[in-house]
């Protein structure tokens, strides 16, 4: 396959891992778009440690059009990435949205200069230890999920050899909602308790999670997700398979005093519930608490 040009925008735990895996495979030309200069990337994987040189740009003005953009910023930082996207994207570009939440295409459309948006569901767990150093934990049988279409196949081809396993599905809408269910409990509870996933071994926390999930499942069904009858129980069972020492993006953001990705997760559920007339009192209570925490974060 011809080498493609790839720009990774957002070199946190998610973007840093995909950039490191792509550089280790060395099948394409990878550029990192970062706030501060960086020339090396270390990713601790279950099977090995990737330690590679990295070409990084710290100013959007130095960027040029590329074949692919992997946008791995938090959803609330999408608008802040607009100067990068304006330089990197054109009608021939594909943008893989490695972001939480639903509605990726609509969120990115104003910023990508007619590029094709490829909604991508991220399952892997990442932890950033410092500039250019991440730990990669697998979760389940695939690290990513995409649609079973030409765009999904193109992303699978792009990541071939990277060790990132990809699931292609004809119902990526339901998969997106299933990922949102996991995030709906994992992120808010770890952020509000300031505990890693060991907190989900508590019976009282599991009871709370069941109530949150029951609301979110009802909203997802109203939005067209093809959920199983016992979807809420399955979601909690999946969460309990994750390592107790694993954190979540919202947990790490709160611990670092950063704003939280609340609107793309709990906010998305509450907003969809309002659109479909499905009550979400528990999620609405979480949303108020998370917004208060996020608003108090250091800018």
Q: Which residues are catalytic?
A: 179
Are 272 and 108 in contact by the 8 Å Cβ rule? The answer is no
Enumerate long-range contacts of 233-236, CB under 8 Å, 24 or more apart: 235/178, 235/181, 235/182, 235/185, 236/185, 236/200, 236/206, 236/209, 236/210
The most distant pair of C-alpha atoms in the chain lies apart, rounded to whole Å, by: 54
Q: What are phi and psi of 238, to 5 degrees?
A: -65, -45
Q: How do beta strands 68-71 and 5-9 pair? A: parallel
3-state secondary structure of 31: strand
Are 123 and 140 in contact by the 8 Å Cβ rule? The answer is yes
Q: What angle do CA 130, 70, 73 make, to 5 degrees?
A: 50
Distance between CA atoms of residues 135 and 46, nearest Å: 9
Q: What is the number of H-type helices and E-type strands within the chain?
A: 10, 13
Are 42 and 50 in contact by the 8 Å Cβ rule? The answer is yes
Distance between CA atoms of residues 87 and 64, nearest Å: 6
Q: Which two tokens stand for residue 152?
A: 């999904």
3-state secondary structure of 173: helix
Neighbouring CB atoms inside 10 A of 53's CB total 9
């Amino acid at each position: 396959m011809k080498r493609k040009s790839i720009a990774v925008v957002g070199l946190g735990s998610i973007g840093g891992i995909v950039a490191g895996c792509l550089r280790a495979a060395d099948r394409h030309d990878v550029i990192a778009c970062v706030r501060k200069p960086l020339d090396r990337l270390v990713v601790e994987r279950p099977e090995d440690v990737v330690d590679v040189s990295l070409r990084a740009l710290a100013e959007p003005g130095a960027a040029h059009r590329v074949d692919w953009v992997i946008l791995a910023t938090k959803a609330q930082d999408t608008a802040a990435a607009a100067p990068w996207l304006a330089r990197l994207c054109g009608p021939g570009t594909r943008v893989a949205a490695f972001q939480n939440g639903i509605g990726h295409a609509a969120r990115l459309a104003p910023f990508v200069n007619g590029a094709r948006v490829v909604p991508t569901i991220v399952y892997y767990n990442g932890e950033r230890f410092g500039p250019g150093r991440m730990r990669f934990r697998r979760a389940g049988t695939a690290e990513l999920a995409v649609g079973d279409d030409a765009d999904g196949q193109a992303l699978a081809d792009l990541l071939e050899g990277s060790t990132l396993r990809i699931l292609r599905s004809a119902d990526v809408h339901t998969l997106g909602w299933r990922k949102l269910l996991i995030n709906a409990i994992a992120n808010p509870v770890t952020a509000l308790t300031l505990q890693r996933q060991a907190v989900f071994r508590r019976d009282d926390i599991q009871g709370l999670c069941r109530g949150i999930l029951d609301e979110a499942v009802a909203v997802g069904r109203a939005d067209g997700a093809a959920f199983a009858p016992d979807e809420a129980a399955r979601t909690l069972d999946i969460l309990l398979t994750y390592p107790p020492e694993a954190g979540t993006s919202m947990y790490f953001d709160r611990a670092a005093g950063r704003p939280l990705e609340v609107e793309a997760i709990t906010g998305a559920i509450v907003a969809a519930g309002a659109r479909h007339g499905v009550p979400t009192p528990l999620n609405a209570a979480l949303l108020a608490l998370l917004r208060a925490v996020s608003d108090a974060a250091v800018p």
